Amino acid sequence: MKFNTKTIHGGQKHDPAYGAVMPPIYQTSTYAQSTPGGHKGFEYSRTHNPTRQALENAFASIENGTYGLAFASGLAAIDAVIKLLKPGDEVISTNDLYGGTYRLFTKVFEGFGVKFHFIGMENADKVESYVNENTKLIWAETPTNPMMNIIDIKALAEVAKKHNILLGVDNTFATPYLQQPLDLGADIVMHSATKYLGGHSDVVMGALVVKDEALAERLYFIQNASGAVCGPQDSFLVLRGIKTLHVRMQRHCENGKKVAEYLANHPKIEKVYWPGFESHPNHEVAKAQMKDFGGMISFVTKGNDYDEAIRIVENMKIFTLAESLGGVESLSGHPASMTHASIPKEEREKTGVVDALIRLSVGIEDADDLIADLEQAIGS
Ligand SMILES: *Cc1c(COP(=O)(O)O)cnc(C)c1O
């Protein structure tokens, strides 16, 4: 099955009871047993739920994996991955990480004795120089948030394999439409399904997909033992979202390109971060590992003025100022005061998250309307 077909049919069976084409929302916590242990594969909904299982099968299918796991949020999914580790273990991660992931690593798991190294990952040799006998996991995001750096997944996978370390990739920004990390050698792919997979800004959810059976068993154990699962209603919504992922992504990419080019030619704009530009430092890697370049764009206005950035995001009318990304509607964000407010100013500025940085999640509206909105908000 090819990708577009998988988004609709991957891992899905028609409902055995009545032939419903969409899996029913099994809004139940428990399942009748004829005799103790005599059940139809479902005992309690923290452990298994038919609607969630249909979604987990879809996750596995679209990421070319074998096992999918759904969680109550993207961070709950990452939390489960870090629970594979024990005190004294070390993780190498990007220095340009989603703010909530950084907070989870530093404010929760450092307290349990896990050590994190936050480094630029554009160069795999540099990543390898941080490996020691305690290193158990490399955790990467590409494109990164919000600087749109591109990390070479294949090169990281070679380092991970050589040293017998797990490689996890947060694939939220790219989605499996653009890149499939397991095919490039990653062991774990993770999503905030809140974003593109759900696609309609109406649900919070996380996903993991793996190929290795022993790793899957351990993660299912943690999923059930820690209990950060999602409900059947949310599972249904994300399953529905995935069915249009490919057509939405195609339009996100088309609109993203138009908006990025418009911004790059704007006299008031200093810099535009988007991996589709040939001038992007890792454009060649992006071209090799991604099918297209996506709808996430960041830019900085000339003069790097904090107040001007605030004025621009306040003035936009179609782009809604809001946390999150990946929905059908266009959103804007000001990382320094919003998503990255939990990262100290010196830390965030080192990675380029300056005061005037604005991040756009370009939606699937008419590109002309989006550009007109930017025009009136930025001024000339
Ligand atoms: C939103 C996001 C997360 C966290 O996911 P939640 O669903 O909000 O818990 C993790 N990584 C990236 C790249 C994100 O954009």
Confidence of residue 213 (pLDDT cuts 50, 70, 90): very high
Per residue in 280-332, pLDDT (tens digit) is 999 999 999 999 999 999 999 999 999 999 999 999 999 999 999 999 999 99
Residue among 121, 205, 201 nearest 168 (CA)? 121
> Residue 265, class by beta-carbon neighbours within 10 Å (0-12 exposed, 13-18 middle, 19+ buried)?
exposed
Residue nearest to atom 7 of ligand 1 (CA): 74
pLDDT reading at 340 higher than 90: no
CATH 3.40.640.10 fits 3-242, yes or no: yes
Confirm if 29 and 45 have CB atoms less than 8 A apart: yes
Average confidence (pLDDT) over 3-32: 94
The pLDDT assigned to 376 comes to 97
Of 6, 136, 195, 348, the active-site residue reads 195
First to last CA, the chain: 49
The pLDDT assigned to 149 comes to 95
The pLDDT assigned to 134 comes to 98
pLDDT reading at 97 higher than 90: no
Confidence of residue 16 (pLDDT cuts 50, 70, 90): confident
pLDDT reading at 343 higher than 80: no
Q: Given 3.80.30.20, 3.40.640.10, 3.40.309.10, 3.90.1150.10, which CATH number is that of 245-378?
A: 3.90.1150.10
Average confidence (pLDDT) over 29-46: 96
Share of the chain above pLDDT 90, in %: 92
pLDDT reading at 339 higher than 90: no
Kindly report the pTM of this predicted structure. 0.96
Confidence of residue 77 (pLDDT cuts 50, 70, 90): very high
More confident residue, 43 or 350: 43
Of 170, 234, 355, 373, the active-site residue reads 170
CA of 251 to the centre of ligand 1 (A): 22
> Residue 41, class by beta-carbon neighbours within 10 Å (0-12 exposed, 13-18 middle, 19+ buried)?
exposed
The pLDDT assigned to 345 comes to 86
Q: Which helix (H) or strand (E) holds 308?
A: helix 306-315
Residues pairing with 189 in the sheet: 169, 209
pLDDT reading at 99 higher than 90: no
- Cα–chain center distance at 217: 23
102 is an active site residue: no
Least confident piece of the model among 136-150, 220-234, 338-352: 338-352
Judge if the beta carbon of residue 192 lies within 6 A of ligand 1: yes
307 is an active site residue: no
The pLDDT assigned to 350 comes to 85
Choice from 59, 71, 73, 75 to test ligand 1 binding pocket (greatest atom count within 8 A of CB): 75
Q: Apex CA 70: angle with CA 64 and CA 76, to 5°?
A: 120
| Angstrom distance (rounded) from CA 257 to CA 352 | 22
The pLDDT assigned to 182 comes to 98
Average confidence (pLDDT) over 225-231: 98
Residue-range domain boundaries for the chain = 3-242, 245-378
CA of 372 to the centre of ligand 1 (A): 29
Mean model confidence pLDDT for the chain: 96
Torsion of CA 302, 307, 310, 312, to 10 degrees: -50
Judge if the beta carbon of residue 339 lies within 6 A of ligand 1: no
CA of 204 to the centre of ligand 1 (A): 9
Torsion sign, CA atoms 280, 282, 288, 289:
negative
